[in-house]
Amino acid sequence: MGRIIKHEGAVAMRMQRGAVQGLKAFARGEATWAEVEGMTFEEAKAIAQVGCDLAAAGRLEEARILFEGLVEGNPKDAAARAALGTVYQKLGKLDDAIAEYSAALEREPDNPVALANRGELYLRKGERQGFTDLANAVEADPHGETAGGRRARALVKAITLVAVEKLKEESQP
């Protein structure tokens, strides 16, 4: 995926005009490295699928390396950030996971995976934002089409049932 550098003799090198413009855009923060390299959405999606397969097989360190590379290449990719957060969560790197979920949500506020997973981590820390994230995940995925949406729905139901039981206990003499 690298750009071609043409050598003209031993002294001079000339880069393709598009490559120079891409590097300048990257230096100004106007383009990601993936854009400079010409990585397509389909290529990024295929790499992400390999990362998901690695994580599902328990090869979390390899998945981490792959997703970190995707995020480094394109920090704007909310799905890659949410996936990296999930790997960090499975590795027990909870603060890093929250940071990646939050970065994903800055780009894509309705990402049910990032909302559900961050919500669960916030609840573990005793923070009310966790319930808000879970409720937002249910709202973002009302039909439970994603695993994150289904898990958020189950957690909201469980929390609600516990709260109702607690209220019943408190109202009885």
The 10 Å Cβ neighbour count of residue 36 is: 20
pLDDT (tens digit per residue) in 52-85 = 999 999 999 999 999 998 898 888 899 999 999 9
Instruction: Give pLDDT tens digits for 106-164.
Output: 999 999 999 999 999 999 999 999 999 999 999 999 999 999 999 999 999 999 998 88
- C-alpha separations of 31 from 7, 26, 34, 109, 138 in Å: 26, 5, 8, 22, 33
Cα-Cα end-to-end distance for the chain = 72
- Distance CA(60)–CA(6), nearest Å, equals 40
Kindly state the DSSP code that residue 30 receives in the 8-state scheme. Answer: S
Structure token digits, residue 74: 């394109």
Cα–Cα dist 112/145, whole Å: 10
